[in-house]
Amino acid sequence: MNASYRWHDEFAFSEFSKKKIILKRSNVKYWVTEAYDEISSAQNLTGVRKVLVFEDALPRAFLVGDSQNVHEDRLLEVYYDSEFDPLKQVLLVEPVSMKKLKTFPGKWKN
């Protein structure tokens, strides 16, 4: 199955709490929901949709100091699990040789 279809199915068929995790980990900061903040009026016939702001959405780019090997069929399941921390680990489908540090500041030294 195509990765974008897997993402769609994972999102579409999840509970709201998991949808929030999926959006935050997909670097989404603003989400226009199906709910309305205001009902329709003469000035705004369709009403105003509620917008959620995720202050803790993942940054656009960051470094991590650890990895975890996962079978390709389980990538989204593990990535969107609330116990997984994408700021600490990257998920890989193939093993990669890398030196692990006890502490990793997330910054590259020149």
**pLDDT tens digits for 32-72?**
877 776 666 666 666 677 888 988 888 888 888 888 999 98
Predicted confidence (pLDDT) per residue in 80-100, tens digit: 898 999 988 899 999 888 777
Q: What does residue 16 show for φ and ψ, rounded to 5 degrees? A: -55, -40
Please give the DSSP secondary-structure letter assigned to residue 56.
T
Backbone angles phi, psi at 52, to 5 degrees: -90, 140
- 13 C-beta neighbours (distance < 10 Å), count: 9
